[in-house]
Structure formats: C-alpha cells, structure tokens
C-alpha cells in the first residue's frame, strides 16, 4: 500500500528556453562593444546572467555564428599610445613640480 506524502507546493522546473541567434548576438554585442554588464542586461531581458556571459564568451572566441568580434584598428592603437605618452609626461612634470616646491620651501626658510 502506497502512502501519499504531502509535498510543498513548488513551481514546476523551467524547461530550457530556446533563444534566437539574433537575440544571442545582440546581447553579446552589447556586452562586448557597449560594455554593458551581464547583470544589467539580465534585468532588462529576464535572461540569466550565466547565459549572457556564455554568449559573450562564445562571441569573443568566434563560436557564435554570425558575430564578428571588432578588430583592433590603427586609430585606437594610436590613441592608446598617445595616452601612455601623456601619462609618462604628466608623471615627469609632477615629479619636477614636487622638487621645485621642496626647493622653494627650503630657500624660503633662509637655509642659505
């Protein structure tokens, strides 16, 4: 004889949803090119963060058909090099300014 066991009222497990390739590409593009967070997109679309991150990774590896990862262009490289050059120049100027401030303070105290 079988006894019935009262089970708590649980929702039925979700069946896997099939998302269109266009949706996957669109979300991957927003993560990669627009630098949107997967969490933000998950809240907007009601799709799990895990899936969005997985699609972005597939796109980066070239495994998401129909999506081509943006390539490095010369202008971006030139801008990055200019930023590095200006950062070094700023550090040098800051060091010179600090030295001059200390020197000025030393002589202003009358240590001559």
Tokens representing residue 95 in the block = 């060091």
| Residue 7: predicted pLDDT | 55
- Is the four-CA dihedral 33, 80, 62, 40 of positive or negative sign? negative
Nearest to 28 by CA among 39, 38, 16, 17: 38
* Position with higher pLDDT, 30 vs 7: 30
| Residue 70: predicted pLDDT | 67
DSSP secondary structure letter of residue 109: T
**Residue ranges of domains in the chain:** 19-70, 72-112
| Residue 37: predicted pLDDT | 92
Question: In sequence order, what DSSP letters do the residues of 28-75 get, joined into one string?
Answer: HHHHHTS---HHHHHHHHT--HHHHHHHHHHHHTT-STT--PPPP-HH
- pLDDT tens digits for range 71-109: 666 666 778 788 889 999 999 999 999 999 999 999 988
| Residue 112: predicted pLDDT | 60
**pTM for the predicted model, two decimal places:** 0.50
- pLDDT tens digits for range 17-61: 788 888 998 999 899 888 899 999 999 999 999 999 999 998 888
């Amino acid at each position: 004889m079988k006894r019935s066991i009262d089970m708590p009222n649980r929702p039925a497990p979700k069946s896997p949803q099939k998302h269109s390739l266009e949706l996957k590409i669109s979300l991957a593009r927003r993560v990669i090119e627009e630098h949107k967070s997967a969490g933000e997109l998950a809240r907007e679309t009601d799709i799990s963060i895990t899936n969005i991150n997985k699609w972005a990774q597939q796109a980066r590896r070239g495994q998401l058909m129909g999506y081509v990862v943006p390539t490095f262009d010369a202008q971006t490289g030139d801008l990055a090099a200019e930023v590095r050059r200006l950062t070094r120049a700023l550090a040098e100027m800051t060091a010179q300014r600090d030295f001059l401030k200390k020197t000025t303070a030393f002589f202003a105290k009358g240590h001559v």
